[in-house]
Amino acid sequence: MKSMTLAKTGAADSRPLEPFEAKEPAPGAGQVLVQVEACGVCRTDLHIVEGEVSAALPIIPGHQVVGTVLETGPGVPSVQRGARVGIGWLHSACGSCSHCRAGKENLCARARFTGRDVDGGYAQRMVADERFVYPLPDALSPVDAAPLLCAGIIGYRSLKLSGIRPGGRLGLVGFGASAHLAIQVALHWGCEVFAFDRKESHRKLALEKGARWAGWMDDDPGVLLDAAITFAPAGELIGRALDLLDRGGTVAVNAIHMTDLPALRYEQIYWEKAVRSVANFTRQDAREFLALAAEIPVRADTERFSLEDANEALIRVKAGAIRGAAVLDAR
């Protein structure tokens, strides 16, 4: 089976992913074997490849997977052969800890993650826990659907945790794969969106997607924001995001890894402002977002790469050179 495997971490431009003829996976109890059709390339993949997020090496990265079920293992009652499914970051959770029982399986200490703890979608085939796969409509192409499986869902969870309300003023800091999907939900809710990005091409995309204003963090949007979401892994942006908030606003930090936060002045968090991280997502988040994405509908701007060009895709993600989301087309 063809795969792009990470045996040793390294800078993306050193092309650490290696073509590897991996052993054919077989589904165990409660698992499904999936023929991969497309896999989104996420910044989390970049953090894993470069060693900023630990992983069980060697590993096949990739956690925004669209494919067809080829085979089911024992004890799989709900997924049929031939089903079209999506696979996301959360591979499994224990189901019995206090967090899982409270509906917060994203915080489970025994959670395992696709492309970090178990092999992911930078391959022709992979296995997944049948409880953590999601049915997908045939009308959505594999390449279009792939970014929804992480960039879309985590963006949706970030919107919820930011506390933004319909009609509110929302800031999106770092207009990449996740933000260009989140804006579509925010606009559907009637929000005014203000986009912040260093790159003119990303600011242009934000305006094309319906942002009221686009600039960078030193620019003045002319209003105070009710909430903001930061997608850039740069801790120094948090203070400025707080300065842009109205009283009672929240900065939701969507990043699995980021640089250290500098010291904040107390005045920046006074008036009941809040900063909160966004850690993973739950199956309920996925179900809600995928249903909403079909209703709106949410559409991803994508740049396609072959499986063999996964290193090139990661290099372009690191450089901020992708318009929307990068996707490996494995068909």
Q: Tell me: the pLDDT tens digits for 210-244?
A: 999 999 999 999 999 999 999 999 999 999 999 99
Residues 129 and 156 in one domain: no
Residues 121 and 184 in one domain: no
Do residues 217 and 193 lie in contact, with contact meaning Cβ atoms separated by under 8 Å?
no
Q: Residue 142: inside a domain, yes or no?
A: no
Across 78-94, average pLDDT: 96
Domain span at residue 27? 2-136+301-329
Q: Residue 147: inside a domain, yes or no?
A: no
Distances (CA, A) of 7 to 19, 26, 166, 245: 11, 21, 46, 43
Instruction: List, in order, residues 6 or more apart from 234 with CB less than 8 Å away.
Output: 258, 259
Nearest to 80 by CA among 68, 91, 90, 88: 68
Residue 223: what are its φ and ψ, rounded to 5°?
Answer: -145, 160
Across 165-194, average pLDDT: 98
pLDDT at residue 55, as a whole number: 97
Residue 123 has pLDDT above 90, yes or no: yes
Residues 116 and 29 in one domain: yes
Q: What percent of the chain has pLDDT over 70?
A: 100
Residue 128's pLDDT band (boundaries 50, 70, 90)? very high
Taking the C-alpha atoms of residue 236 and residue 243, their distance in angstroms, rounded to an integer, is 12
Q: Residue 146: inside a domain, yes or no?
A: no
Tell me the two tokens of residue 54: 């630990």
Residue 76 has pLDDT above 90, yes or no: yes
For 326, other C-beta atoms within 10 Å of its C-beta total 29
Q: Residue 192: inside a domain, yes or no?
A: yes
CATH number for the domain that contains residue 176: 3.40.50.720
pLDDT at residue 243, as a whole number: 97
pLDDT at residue 303, as a whole number: 97
Provide the 3-class DSSP secondary structure of residue 183: helix
Element (H, E) at 290: helix 283-295
Residues 109 and 170 in one domain: no
Across 72-91, average pLDDT: 95
Residue 64 has pLDDT above 90, yes or no: yes
Residue 331 has pLDDT above 90, yes or no: no
Residues 102 and 228 in one domain: no
Across 112-125, average pLDDT: 98
Q: What is the pLDDT of residues 198-207, one digit of tens each?
A: 999 999 999 9
Q: What percent of the chain has pLDDT over 90?
A: 98
Residues 16 and 60 in one domain: yes
CATH number for the domain that contains residue 128: 3.90.180.10
DSSP state of 259: P
Residues 131 and 157 in one domain: no
Residues 50 and 126 in one domain: yes
pLDDT at residue 139, as a whole number: 81
Q: Could you tell me whether strands 17-21 and 31-41 are parallel, antiparallel, or unpaired per DSSP bridges?
A: unpaired
Q: Residue 292: inside a domain, yes or no?
A: no
Residues 170 and 265 in one domain: yes
Across 131-146, average pLDDT: 93
Residue whose structure tokens are 């939701």: 252
Q: Residue 89: inside a domain, yes or no?
A: yes
Q: What is the pLDDT of residues 144-172, one digit of tens each?
A: 999 999 999 999 999 999 999 999 999 99
Tell me the two tokens of residue 302: 């994508």
User: Peptide bond before 297: cis, by omega within 30 degrees of 0?
Assistant: yes
pLDDT at residue 282, as a whole number: 98
Taking the C-alpha atoms of residue 208 and residue 272, their distance in angstroms, rounded to an integer, is 34
Residues 193 and 242 in one domain: yes
Residues 20 and 114 in one domain: yes
**What pTM value is reported for the model?**
0.96
pLDDT at residue 78, as a whole number: 86
Residues 25 and 115 in one domain: yes
Nearest to 172 by CA among 228, 104, 210: 228
- If one counts the domains in the chain, the total is 2
pLDDT at residue 138, as a whole number: 80
Mean pLDDT of the chain: 97
Q: Residue 287: inside a domain, yes or no?
A: no
Residue 260's pLDDT band (boundaries 50, 70, 90)? very high
Residue 320 has pLDDT above 90, yes or no: yes
Q: Residue 144: inside a domain, yes or no?
A: no
Do residues 300 and 180 lie in contact, with contact meaning Cβ atoms separated by under 8 Å?
yes
DSSP state of 249: E
Across 126-134, average pLDDT: 97
pLDDT at residue 216, as a whole number: 97
